[in-house]
């Protein structure tokens, strides 16, 4: 039986951030700069390994508190204005999972320390690595949820976050109101930004024998989406 609310603590090693993932995260680096990237990674790695603290959790809502209107998802009387892109993926699901995850605050504090000391390159590299690590934390959470759903034949949709695919970032406020206070150690500011900064929030749908659809990157114009890679003119 899947829990209504669940929280996981992961280790840095479980994120499996290796040189292949480093290369993927920095595909826009020129070949001549890649040795510098590797050198900086080796220097930062001990600090990252010690101070990256991945934690993630979800709240599960079953079909009796989930309903839909045109481009709107209603969860326990809270209305989420998803917009057409996300609505198209979620409109046929029965269950909803609201989630958050973070890697803690120490890496972002180190970024500011490096900036203050004038080492902007290391700060840039660490900041991007931290962003990748929090996405890997979200991937681990997805694997956990899916493994709990497997015995009942349910599958997850892709995850979606406020601020992407036409879903206003201000809807973070509604999402956090449905989660426990200080869930996973994450706070929300009045401007709907999360602290720690290296955090992710969002939504999954789930249904029996659901076939996951592709992300709709072909109709989305958000060039800064983490799922949208435009290097070499390719969207993946």
Of the chain, the percentage scoring pLDDT greater than 70 comes to 89
Return mean pLDDT, the chain: 90
Span 29-66, pLDDT tens digits: 776 678 889 999 999 999 999 999 999 999 999 999 99
Give the number of domains in the chain: 1
Mean pLDDT, to the nearest integer, of 107-124? 97
pLDDT at residue 85, as a whole number = 92
Work out the angle at residue 54's Cα, subtended by the Cα atoms of residues 48 and 57, and round it to the nearest 5 degrees.
170
Which of 29-43, 69-83, 106-120, 129-143 has the least mean pLDDT?
Answer: 29-43
Mean pLDDT, to the nearest integer, of 216-221? 48
Mean pLDDT, to the nearest integer, of 145-159? 96
pLDDT at residue 223, as a whole number = 53
Nearest to 225 by CA among 76, 44, 31, 85: 85
Q: What is the CATH number of the domain that holds 66?
A: 3.40.109.40
**pLDDT class of 229 with cuts at 50, 70, 90:** very low
Mean pLDDT, to the nearest integer, of 119-123? 96
Winning range, highest mean pLDDT, from 32-36, 161-165, 214-218, 220-224: 161-165
CA distances from 71 to 2, 93, 120, 166, 227 (A): 28, 14, 42, 11, 22
Span 52-61, pLDDT tens digits: 999 999 999 9
Nearest to 40 by CA among 54, 59, 19: 19
- In the numeric block, which tokens belong to residue 219? 């109709």
For residue 83, give its domain range. Answer: 5-233
Q: How far is the C-alpha of 102 from the C-alpha of 14, rounded, in Å? A: 14
Of the chain, the percentage scoring pLDDT greater than 90 comes to 81
pLDDT at residue 14, as a whole number = 97
pLDDT at residue 15, as a whole number = 97
CB 213 within 8 A of CB 89: yes
CB count within 10 Å of CB 20 equals 9
Span 187-214, pLDDT tens digits: 999 999 999 999 999 999 999 989 887 6
- Supply the pTM of this predicted model: 0.89
**pLDDT class of 224 with cuts at 50, 70, 90:** low
């Amino acid at each position: 039986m899947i829990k209504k609310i669940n929280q996981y603590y992961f280790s840095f090693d479980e994120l499996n951030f290796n040189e292949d993932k480093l290369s993927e995260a920095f595909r826009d680096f020129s070949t001549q700069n890649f040795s510098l990237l590797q050198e900086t990674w080796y220097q930062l790695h001990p600090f990252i390994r010690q101070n990256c603290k991945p934690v993630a959790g979800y709240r599960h809502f079953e079909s009796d508190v989930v309903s839909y209107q045109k481009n709107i998802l209603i969860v326990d009387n809270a209305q989420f204005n998803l917009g057409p892109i996300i609505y198209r993926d979620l409109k046929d699901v029965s269950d909803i999972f609201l989630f958050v995850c973070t890697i803690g605050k120490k890496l972002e504090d180190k970024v500011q320390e490096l900036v203050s000391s004038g080492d902007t390159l290391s700060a840039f590299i660490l900041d991007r690595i931290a962003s990748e690590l929090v996405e890997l934390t979200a991937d681990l959470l997805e694997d956990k949820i899916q493994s709990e759903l497997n015995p009942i034949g349910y599958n997850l949709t892709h995850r979606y976050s406020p601020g992407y695919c036409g879903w206003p970032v201000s809807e973070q406020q509604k999402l956090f109101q449905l989660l426990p206070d200080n869930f996973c150690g994450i706070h929300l500011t009045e401007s709907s930004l999360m602290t720690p900064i290296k955090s992710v929030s969002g939504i999954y749908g789930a249904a029996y024998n659901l076939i996951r659809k592709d992300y709709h990157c072909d109709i989305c114009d958000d060039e800064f989406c983490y799922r949208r890679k435009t290097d070499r003119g390719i969207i993946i």
